[in-house]
Amino acid sequence: MEWNEKLQAIIDYVEEHLQRTEEAINPLEIERLAGCSYSFFQKVFSYMNDMSFAEYVRYRKLTLAGYDVMSTQMKIIDISYKYGYDSPTSFTKAFQQFHGVSPSQARKTRQTLKVYPKMQLHMKQSYDWRLEEKSAMRLIGKSIRLSYRDHIHFQSVPEFWSECQRNGDYAKLYALDEGNTLGMFGLFHDYNTLKKECTYSIMVINNHEKSDEYDEILIPEATWAIFDCRGSVPQAIQEGWKFLYQEWLVQYPFLHDACPELEWYSSQNTYAKDYLSQIWIPIIEED
């Protein structure tokens, strides 16, 4: 077995113990999977990933703890013991160092939390996320019907944006934007799961324009889990969706509300390394 395969097996083992069995990581099992001593494995891991194995496990624990704090009514003391901390005090200190806010304050004020995804050997991107309540929105724009079979939409969606820029629709919609923060939305809606098709729309907030030229969608008041994606498009937003599909949606901590999932693109330079785009997931909070 190649080293990358061994490392992936160890990463999967860590996730199994953190998310399902909720048991401590066993160094002897790491040695068995790695085919070497635990100390040597730690050295190789640090060399390959520019971080220690202990740091990675800690970041994953605190990421998952953030999910529990924001999406469940578990007591903070129970969450601290769930992730192997000796006391709520030590857990709160570690949580604050990682997320920049205490667990109780995060739950009370819905602060932005850090996410360190499950390690993929080709990607080590981190994401900020938060819960936000948004008022109802009226969106207008242009739409296209497309297939999402075999992720072909990763190609067809950017092509649709390029087409709207070439034919002038992008500039027209930009001029009609009435949002508090200027930016455009991308919406996935009207799914046909049998054909693996959906409608994708490019839209802006507008409460006044009446025209047969544009499609109209009313988004009700909702609570959203909002993920910040940093980097040029479409790569940054596509990597964000991959992260959500591979990790966050798999062990989804919230019920999905009956709204379309949204992309939001800021009015900045889309080619900049720090360009901001977002993914909005509509959720139903537990009472």
- Determine contact, residues 200/124, Cβ cutoff 8 Å: no
Whole-model pTM?
0.62
Superfamily of domain 3-109 in the CATH hierarchy: Homeodomain-like (1.10.10.60)
What digits encode the pLDDT tens for the residues 213-249? 999 999 999 989 899 999 888 889 988 888 887 777 6
Please report, for the chain, the start and end positions of each structural domain, with discontinuous segments joined by +: 3-109, 134-284
Residue 236's CB is within 10 A of a number of other CB atoms, namely 19
Query: So what CATH class is 134-284?
Result: alpha beta
The pair of structure tokens assigned to 128 is 């900020």
> Which two three-digit tokens encode residue 182?
């200027």
**Which class for 24: exposed (0-12), middle (13-18), buried (19 or more C-beta within 10 A)?**
exposed
Give me the pLDDT at residue 173, please.
95
The pLDDT of residue 234 is 87
The string of pLDDT tens digits covering residues 152-202 is 888 899 999 999 999 999 999 999 999 988 999 999 999 999 999 999 999
Residue 286 pLDDT: 62
